[in-house]
């Protein structure tokens, strides 16, 4: 009987407690929906493509942070109409992207000795894949006559001493407009 009474008292005490919160402010979100967008292509081909890097020696990727095989690729935009004036690519986060914004080697998911790193081709700044910093840090190009070529680079990046073998990864991209 004592336990039932004690349990009832505890239940009553906690069930009558109320939580209160005071409003601190308001957040307003603004954006623009564009009526038309551009068609995209990779190196003059389809929007989905493969970019082949040159063969790199393990001696070039012997220590963490070393890079090799820098290869340019272009995202071409065409058929841009309306009020679109500038654009850049946004490389999205996903299961192929590590916590540093590099692309994980899909052939070596456990050891992850080598990754792919993306760069803006013009100033060679590193692109942190999946980061919102791309909205301000990626190089925007001017759309002229409905067309634009956006130059980027990809390179091998050593997370640790590389071993011999194939390296492969992927990234999803979209186009940001200003």
- Residue range 158-164: average pLDDT? 95
Domains of the chain: 31-177 (2.60.40.1090)
What is the structure's pLDDT at 14? 53
**Tens of pLDDT, residues 62-79:** 999 999 999 999 999 999
Length of the chain: 178
Q: Find out whether 150 and 77 touch, Cβ atoms under 8 Å.
A: yes
Q: Find out whether 128 and 170 touch, Cβ atoms under 8 Å.
A: no
- Residue range 93-119: average pLDDT? 94
Report whether pLDDT(32) > 80: no
**61 phi/psi in degrees, rounded to 5:** -125, 45
What is the structure's pLDDT at 27? 79
Q: Which two tokens stand for residue 153?
A: 């680079």
Report whether pLDDT(28) > 60: yes
What is the structure's pLDDT at 104? 96
Out of 9-13, 41-45, 103-107, pick the least confident.
9-13
What is the structure's pLDDT at 36? 62
């Amino acid at each position: 009987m004592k336990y039932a009474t004690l349990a009832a008292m505890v239940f009553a005490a906690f069930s009558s407690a109320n939580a209160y919160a005071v409003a601190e402010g308001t957040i307003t979100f603004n954006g623009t929906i564009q009526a038309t967008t551009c068609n995209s292509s990779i190196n003059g081909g389809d929007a989905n493509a493969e970019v082949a890097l040159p063969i790199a020696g393990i001696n070039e990727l012997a220590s963490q942070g070393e890079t090799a095989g820098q290869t340019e690729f272009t995202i071409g935009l065409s058929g841009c109409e309306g009020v679109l004036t500038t654009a850049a690519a946004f490389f999205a986060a996903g299961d192929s992207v590590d916590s540093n914004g590099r692309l994980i080697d899909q052939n070596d998911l456990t050891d992850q000795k080598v990754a792919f790193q993306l760069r803006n081709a013009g100033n060679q700044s590193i692109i942190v894949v999946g980061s919102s910093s791309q909205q301000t840090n990626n190089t925007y190009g001017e759309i002229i006559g409905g067309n634009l070529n956006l130059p980027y680079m990809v390179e091998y990046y050593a997370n640790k001493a590389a071993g011999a073998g194939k390296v492969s990864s992927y990234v999803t991209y979209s186009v940001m407009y200003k």
